[in-house]
């Protein structure tokens, strides 16, 4: 997987480091959650713009739970 820049200092080479490959490898071989969630959504203040959101793992869980709850609530209201 190569060296980590903070841990190995001078041994680390940017050209040999591929974060995507590292995250795929870690996600498929380790029992761990990814530590960062990135998504794009409309800016609620200006819908002609898009914003990039970067959330830590705990924040991401809260957002997705809220979205799931909102979709369940919307479906329930429509069936009344």
Of the listed ranges 19-23, 24-28, 43-47, 56-60, the one predicted with least confidence: 56-60
| pLDDT tens track for 37-53 | 777 888 889 989 998 87
pTM above 0.75, yes or no: no
The 3-state secondary structure of the chain, one letter per residue: CCCCHHHHHHHCCHHHCCHHHHHHHHHHHCCCCCCEEEEEEEECCEEEEEEEEEEEHHHHHHHHHHHHHHHHHHHHHHCC
**Euclidean distance between CA atoms 43 and 24, whole angstroms:** 30
């Amino acid at each position: 997987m190569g060296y980590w820049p903070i841990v190995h200092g001078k041994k680390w080479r940017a050209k040999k480091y591929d974060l995507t490959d590292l995250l795929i490898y870690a996600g498929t071989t380790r029992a761990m959650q990814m530590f960062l969630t990135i998504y794009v959504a409309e800016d609620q203040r200006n819908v002609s713009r898009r914003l990039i959101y970067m959330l830590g793992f705990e924040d991401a869980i809260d957002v997705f739970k809220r979205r799931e709850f909102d979709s369940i609530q919307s479906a329930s209201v429509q069936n009344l």
